[in-house]
Structure 1
């Protein structure tokens, strides 16, 4: 099988990822589990050639110099793929993450109503967090799409690489990729403030400079969407503040307390019928009470504020898991595996 056939097979089987690893057959991840494809093992040259053939000259040079490379790749009419090529002890390796050609709407994702409200905020910071592969990009793409279909404005995205490709509907959309279009997230964000955006999407808030610029953009009247790999709202606030030196922490807490609109922390759960996965969310909204806790560094008290904030669209992860179990969407065992307090899900 060539790479196009393997990727077509992967998409047909609703796989989130295709794994190529020299010395082993190709494998796909379906509903969270990695499965072998029933074909012969690939050797180093086969894997290397499959990946090398779809790279451009810049990507090949980067791969040769650093032994790894991130890029995106599209098969027209099938899907886009986010690719990481690397080397391992048996030879070449690569992972292809499937990015569906069609952007799912918030309704199709069964996202809480508050996501629509957050997508239309005139300014402030909305963070979508969770582990790798938890659907952050899918959620953010749906929120950007909702804004694009509803308001007239300018949406600017900075990604590494570009994942979901948005058509300009009511909004003008400019998508920039680190590498081909800009040297870094920080460079792109510095320029963004002079590019008349209403909304800025930052693919990953990786370092101090990017986080500082994202906070500044949110504070100066832009809606900023960003992602982090944290697993809860409280850990997200700590992560943002901890990046900064001690002398700046109070200032950063003040900036966050002014600009934070929401933190959405999500994880994917296997459905009870085994047919797919569903997102479970912790949602913290930037209410006056939450803003005050951030300003005063009382992060430990956030959980109880989220627990009692249902009327404002807030929920803890365990509250959402309880609802999914009650509606028979996931099993109690799956809820227990994902829960912050597993004892809440006996059985």
Structure 2
């Protein structure tokens, strides 16, 4: 199926006409079926793009259904403009078929009682609606139902500034989550102004870049001293390998750090790599790109279960797959690159901390 055909696919197009959470879930399930048939048939970048187009359409439709439900519940229409935004893998356009919720709201203007009561109810209702459609609630509570991720634009600006000034582990972790923000529905102008405020805080701010780097170099060991892949020793996934936190997240983190350092606004890892390549400052970017695509491919091919039409996976590569020599060779090559980059970043961090002490 070519791109043009995908844009005309009935299951994909029908998402936006769903009028209830039940209808929306049914259309998501139908669309996923088509996408699963295309997995490993088309290039991984193209497949991920289609999966994330589906998620965006579902989110946009969920926002419309939620507005209608708010009217039915007696809240009336939204009291002002707002923007529905996503973070995490959705923000990077790298969400899998089983990704959970990572989202927030930007509300126009100064805070007041009406906005507070409307958007508090809206955020809770929207998060519940998305759960009904098949997006599990985020364990870390990065959702529009939480006041930390649902604010007016002035409140958001104040919060971002606070995180940037504290430079401690937790506020920097929030800032890193925020850096993957992407606009999905509502007022694009609000999202644009939010982004401008976010990136302005990084300009010529080496202390902030160093703090982000400090969070970035936290990483669990995936190879032993002999360069052999370390698999899980105990528990449900004994013998398996955690591809999400072993390869995918470390590469995402490294590329994000370099992007924030150089004022790259894009949230997608592949687009960030394109912009970094244009700077001509870094070797290994093509190697990182290849390793990243390998990590994506491995991640979407981890064993999954289907329940009520929805997919879930642990993000662990099964022990049997690790017995495949070609597969193991590609994994090991990616992990060796991650280890090299990681050591280089640790050296950078030590030298930055010496300069700043």
TM-score range, shorter chain: under 0.3
Give TM-score scaled by structure 2 length.
Answer: 0.25
Which structure dedicates a bigger proportion of its chain to strand? 1
TM-score, with normalisation over the residues of structure 1? Answer: 0.26
Higher RCO structure, 1 or 2 (CA under 8 Å, sep 6+): 2
